[in-house]
Amino acid sequence: MRAIASLASRHPVWTLILLGCVLMLPALLWGPGATHSHLYNHMWTRHFGEQMAAGHLYERWLPRSFEGLGSPTFYFYPPLAYWLSGGLNAMGLTVGQAITGAGLLLMIASGLAIYAWLAERGTRPLLGAALYMVAPYHLFDLYVRGALAEFAGFVWLPLIALGIHWLPSRRGVALLASAYAALILTHLPLATLTGLFLIAPLMLQRILQDRTTLLPGLIAGLLAFALAAFYLLPAATLQSHMSTALLWTGKYQASSWSIWREDVELFPCIALGLVLLAWRARSLWTAITVGTALAAVNLIPSLWSIDLLDKVQFPWRILAITEFAAITAIAACPPRRIIAIGAGVVLAFPLLLTGLIANALLHMPVDYARIDRHQPDAPEYLPAGFDAALVDRVDRWTDLGRYASLPRGDSITITRPGPVTIGHAAFPIWQVTRDGQAVASHGPLIRFDAQPGTYRIERVRLWQEKVGAAISLIALLGLALLIRRRAISHLSKFPSYSPSQALSDRPSFGRLRSRITGGDL
């Protein structure tokens, strides 16, 4: 055992890659399975794969969704996770292989990210990384929920913390801005929770330690939102054009979940086990663990009724932060043996339950042919004003049979005057024209008053897309200049080339050195 431990410590990257392969072995053998989100993973990965293979990196409109009515899904859903799975599909993997491959890469990346974070702190990085990868909610998110985007969020949490730790240096600004922008582009609810329950307390602690971190921290935050503006601005300003009410009804309201619900029995066990493990550290990380654990099982009164927090749908999403904080705490201060054993017993239940459910889902047949025929996208992306009664409350598929006979395509020839409805979801990017002139139309399916002639459905680019892209491009150039100036400052021997004090590469607490490579970071 000592020989194995010694070998692992000498080759941590390969050890974490091997662990990631072991944890993903069931999916590698049997495919992604019938997870809670399997149909969305299938549809969205295939969509991005087809578009990327055709040279379109970011196509936000899904033309096949809702049996060909179309859907503006990726005007609202962050694209990063499906850039990864779709890219693998575009490279030649099947859709199932691409989803599993993306899961494998994200699993390994999460381990490497927290290894870098804990190595900087000098606190058992390999053990902490292994615990992070096998943490119960981490595995549940992948194997049961199939929440590919939320699962990808585990990669960014350690890098966000590392960026804050490095403030006020330039590398701290660059890493914090890049990692938080990546989280926004990965999963918006987790990004919201991270901003409030991880970034806010860590930044407050850093400011109390060194007041010069305030300005660089603010710059990093603004830069993060600017980098994500190409997605964030359309998503924030176009919600009135989709069926947003379906996002936050019934079980999709965060306040409706509690410790007493019979279908969330494993979440209290995860929360309790993590609190027990982190308690001895008595640090800010313990406080974050306890606070987020209580929030996850809705034991903080009225928390999930607060505006913005009531939009995250499921309070137990915050367990991703709980696991990260707890592992950071126990890596620095391991619990006493009796407590560790007790916590292990508590956590064994959700791990065992996750394994049993995952095994059933991996072997459950999925009718992909039916999915490909009906293209049942998430109902919240139906056009505003659509009849919500057509959405099944159980599986959330939409009954669209009544629209099957409507004409489809991007043009239609009318022979008699009168109102016309076509099988095309209404959204501001679509404009009806005749002989190059715009014709007034309305939704929820495109409807207009027609005279004999040929009408075309043409796509227009919205100001939100233009402005958002411009902001992100400017932010990207600013980030590149920030990184380049830091590189120049390392090579310069002259004071005139040194960066300002607030963004210095020599923070007041001394130069940090990597415990991974031993070199300057």
Q: pLDDT (tens digit, 0 to 9) for every residue of the chain, 521 residues total? A: 566 666 667 789 999 999 999 999 999 999 999 999 999 999 999 999 999 999 999 999 999 999 999 999 999 999 999 999 999 999 999 999 999 999 999 999 999 999 999 999 999 999 999 999 999 999 999 999 999 999 999 999 999 999 999 999 999 999 999 999 999 999 999 999 999 999 999 999 999 999 999 999 999 999 999 999 999 999 999 999 999 888 877 778 888 887 776 556 789 999 999 999 999 999 999 999 999 999 999 999 999 989 889 889 899 999 999 999 999 999 999 999 999 999 999 999 999 999 999 999 999 999 999 999 999 999 999 999 999 899 988 888 999 999 999 998 899 999 999 999 999 999 999 999 999 899 999 999 999 999 999 999 999 999 999 999 999 999 999 999 988 876 555 544 444 444 444 444 434 333 333 333 333 22
Cβ neighbour number for residue 260 with a 10 Å cutoff: 9
Helix (H), strand (E), coil (C) string for 104-115: HHHHHHHHHHHH
Question: Is-cis flag, bond preceding 444, omega within 30?
Answer: yes
Per-residue pLDDT, 3: 62
pTM for the full predicted model? 0.91
Phi, psi angles (nearest 5°) of residue 98: -65, -40
The SS3 assignment for 491 reads helix
Per-residue pLDDT, 307: 87
Query: Cα angle vertex 218, ends 217, 221, to 5°?
Result: 90
Query: Cα angle vertex 34, ends 29, 38, to 5°?
Result: 105
Cβ neighbour number for residue 298 with a 10 Å cutoff: 22
Per-residue pLDDT, 245: 83
The alpha carbon of 249 is separated from its chain's Cα centroid by a whole number of angstroms, namely 21
Could you tell me if 45 and 89 are in contact, meaning their C-beta atoms sit under 8 angstroms apart? yes
Cβ neighbour number for residue 54 with a 10 Å cutoff: 9
Residues 6+ apart with CB under 8 A from 319: 137, 267, 270, 271, 292, 293, 296
